[in-house]
Structure 1
């Protein structure tokens, strides 16, 4: 059986474009060009039936390395903790105070974008420090 190398991460959310643009800021992702035949995403959106307008949005890694992110509108809000979450790797290779300072600086940047700092988990005998956060619709993620 062949191994799968490409995958998409899908977010259920209330405002797909807003959440997609938030994650673009966090990850350095971009909004891809609109479909062929449309000058802008707004032009494309206006061509859809009213019930499909704003129902989904995409963000991609400009290098083509990372997974495509798809944001789909769902009627219900988030109720419980995520079963899967993203770890945003900003402190790779760093340890101790240097790692914590890097994580705290990124946390401050993300809070300014609308993220919520939930808690900081300090290093112990087994794990390095990480910070648990929520995106603009309450989805948990970590910076580590």
Structure 2
């Protein structure tokens, strides 16, 4: 049996670079360097046919631990709830008021970046609190 060493998470998107930059800010990721032979991404995109310019973007965990996020332009918009979503784990190990304060602080930071707060899912007998949010293209994610 083979072992998976790496994976990336791919998002369909209307504006790949905009969404990639948002997630770089959320996760502390970085944009990869432009392809060999190009000083900037703008220069690379300018070398492509107009229909292919800005067709994709990616962001990377600078530590190399987290998965690569890839954003590809698609013609159709988002219609229904995501089947897969990211949980941004900012409250790991925290409970009660300390957890809520941490989640709320991160929520405020992300709203300033363009995210939308949907709702708080309060703690119950099985789960700690989390906040359901949407990114700059309406993709659901959770602050956990």
State if a TM-score over 0.5 links the two structures: yes
Are 2:46 and 1:46 aligned?
Answer: yes
Aligned to 1:142: 142
Aligned to 2:86: 86
Question: After TM superposition, which residue ranges in structure 1, 4 or more long, deviate above 6 angstroms?
Answer: none
What displacement does 1:5 show? Answer: 2.5
- What secondary structure does 2:51 align onto? helix
- What secondary structure does 1:12 align onto? strand
Aligned to 1:3: 3
Alignment of structure 1 residues 31-110 onto 2, 5 Å:
31-110=31-110
What displacement does 1:137 show? Answer: 0.5
- What secondary structure does 1:58 align onto? strand
Q: Deviations over 1:84-141 (max 9, x none)?
A: 0000000001011100110010001000110000000111111000000000010000
TM-score, with length taken from structure 2 = 0.98
Q: For structure 2, which runs of at least 5 residues remain unmatched after alignment? A: none
What displacement does 1:62 show? Answer: 0.4
Aligned to 1:30: 30
- What secondary structure does 1:38 align onto? coil
Distance 1:133 1:68 in 2: 21
- What secondary structure does 2:20 align onto? helix
Distance 1:108 1:139 in 2: 17
Distance 1:66 1:51 in 2: 31
RMSD: 0.6
